[in-house]
Amino acid sequence: EPEVTQTPSHQVTQMGQEVILRCVPISNHLYFYWYRQILGQKVEFLVSFYNNEISEKSEIFDDQFSVERPDGSNFTLKIRSTKLEDSAMYFCASSYDNEQFFGPGTRLTVL
């Protein structure tokens, strides 16, 4: 069964460094998303992407964040200068229509 994949599974970085989280959505899906979950808290929406542009973003998704679909299969989330509070589980999701399918997540630890 097709699934969303994410790499790496765990990323440790120093505060102020740039990180790129990678996702491969399900191949025929049209909509792509990033969410995050800080330990012990709710899953929070960051951004959605459709037709090669951002379709919606939350107030969390500020100028430090960017997304890109560099080729026909990958979808990336870049954090330019990481802060301690960016430590969280980051989930990529994709959908063909309404039902969203999530990847296993990347645990980002900022030291």
Chain residues that interact with another protein, rule: CB under 8 A: 4, 31, 33, 35, 41-45, 48, 55-56, 58, 91, 93, 95, 98-105, 107
Taking the complex as a whole, the smallest distance from the CB of residue 16 to another protein amounts, in Å, to: 27
Site of tokens 């990336």:
76
Sign, Cα dihedral of 67, 42, 101, 20: positive
Complex with another protein: residue 18 or 56, whichever CB lies closer: 56
Beta bridge partners of 67: 77
Q: Indicate the helix (H) or strand (E) that contains 13.
A: strand 10-13
Complex with another protein: residue 32 or 79, whichever CB lies closer: 32
